[in-house]
Amino acid sequence: MSRVTSSFARQKRPHDWIGPMKKPALLCCLIFSVRLAAAGDEPEKLQKQGMERIEQYREHFYRTGERDSLRPQLEQGERELKSSYDTFIAKGDFAGAAFSEIQLGRLENIRSVDTLSIATGSHGINVASAQPIESHNDAAFRMFSTARELAKKARDPGREAEALIGLARTDGLNRGNVSDGVDDVTEAIRLAAQAGKTEDLFDALDLAAELELKRGRLAAATEYLDRAMALSTQVQKKLLVYFSYRDRADIYRNRVEVCTTEPRYGECYEALKLARVELEHARGICQDLGYQFLLQDTRREFGDLDVLQQLVQSQERFLKANSQYFSPKAPKDVLVTEHFAAGGSPERGAQLKKLTGGGFAMTRAGAHFWKTRLISTTRPSRFCWTSTGWRRRST
């Protein structure tokens, strides 16, 4: 400002060195400097505004499933967060800068899901993207990594835990580097507990369960979710609890899928029952929050369980109807023997036809189930949405 003041003082001299064409430009620079100084005094306000715009976008999506109308709001929030980040860096406030960068990383997580336009009602997937999903995931990964380094500089374990949760979700779930994701989320759990951040600890435990489920370790996933649900009454963001109930239902459903290879039907029906209980809890939270789109998606999950139960029942009936062939007690129960004779046996031919026909029918049912299962994993939560779905956890 001193340079600007001295420049204006020089204008009073007989020989005006600035010239008439340069005065407006100098005035614009002065106005810009004043505005920048005003913005620099309020990075917290800009950060809050940016976060509120992103939250409004999420709320609108959870209620309606529609994205397009609030995209300008999302872009405005991004500009505010970037401005706050720059100002925090200039002031040496590394904790504030880390928090802004975490929000920008979450924004890229949202865009990675927004890249896919998924119509859950028709189970059709349409790609409508200006940029590939990988570019958003890569950007989010860089932002969360930067946020972690800034949080370390600020010696803020709570902010570092948030950054690590973002890294684990982006790299572990979205990009498929599950082992690295598990390492990040394990450290996030430790830091969130150290910082006393209950909601971040809950989120990290739930994310750890998702990652363990992704690599097929059901017992470990169950343990993490049990630890998370023990904190559920202390969590104010009930949407986090909603996704944990969905994750629990996923674990029970994975237990049921064992029945496609191992005939333990009593355990499978019990797991189906427990999965429905978890979805009932999730549905109740959606209704309380007024999230109609998530409610619709939860109802679809009930439909997936119905398909799975039909598949299990079909397989159980098939095995019972043909139990003598799978557990033969007399020579006549064996369809293939070491003795061969010319010509065919109409009786054995009919038996084989019955078996292969039943097997084919089961295969068609299985194909329908796995098609439904594939669609059901693209849900808003594991969005990460969500999940997911849709996969959550950018939220």
Range of the domain at 21: 1-41
Residue 68 domain flag: no
Return mean pLDDT, the chain.
77
Q: What's phi and psi for 127, nearest 5 deg?
A: -90, 120
Residue 324 domain flag: yes
Q: What is the pLDDT of residues 35-68, one digit of tens each?
A: 444 444 599 999 999 999 999 999 999 999 998 8
Domains contained in the chain, number: 2
- Residue 160, pLDDT above cutoff 70: yes
- Higher-confidence position of 232 and 381: 232
- Residue 24, pLDDT above cutoff 60: no
Ramachandran sector of residue 43 (left: φ over 0; alpha: ψ -120 to 50; beta: rest): alpha
> Can you give the pTM of this predicted structure?
0.72
Residue 268 domain flag: yes
Query: pLDDT tier at 25 (50, 70, 90 boundaries)?
Result: very low
For residues 232 and 284, is the Cβ–Cβ distance under 8 A?
no
Query: pLDDT tier at 75 (50, 70, 90 boundaries)?
Result: very high
Residue closest to 97 by CA, chosen among 38, 53, 44: 44
State the Rg of the chain over Cα. 29
Residue 133 domain flag: no
What kind and span of H or E run contains 197? none
Identify the residue whose tokens are 């993207």. 129
Identify the residue whose tokens are 């929050």. 289
Dist. CA 71–CA 63, nearest whole Å: 16
- Residue 117, pLDDT above cutoff 60: no
Residue 172 domain flag: no
At residue 342, the pLDDT reads 52
Residue 383 domain flag: yes
At residue 113, the pLDDT reads 80
- Higher-confidence position of 227 and 383: 227
Mean pLDDT of 311-330: 73
Residue 29 domain flag: yes
Residue 338 domain flag: no
Q: What is the pLDDT of residues 325-371, one digit of tens each?
A: 556 666 665 555 555 555 555 665 565 555 444 443 333 334 333 33
Q: Where are the alpha helices (DSSP H) in the chain?
A: 2-10, 23-40, 43-64, 71-91, 94-114, 133-154, 157-167, 178-195, 198-214, 218-229, 238-256, 265-289, 292-321, 323-326, 346-376
Mean pLDDT of 221-235: 96
258: Cβ–Cβ under 8 A, 6 or more apart, which residues?
264, 267, 268
Rounded percentage of the chain residues whose pLDDT exceeds 70: 65
At residue 264, the pLDDT reads 80
At residue 122, the pLDDT reads 37
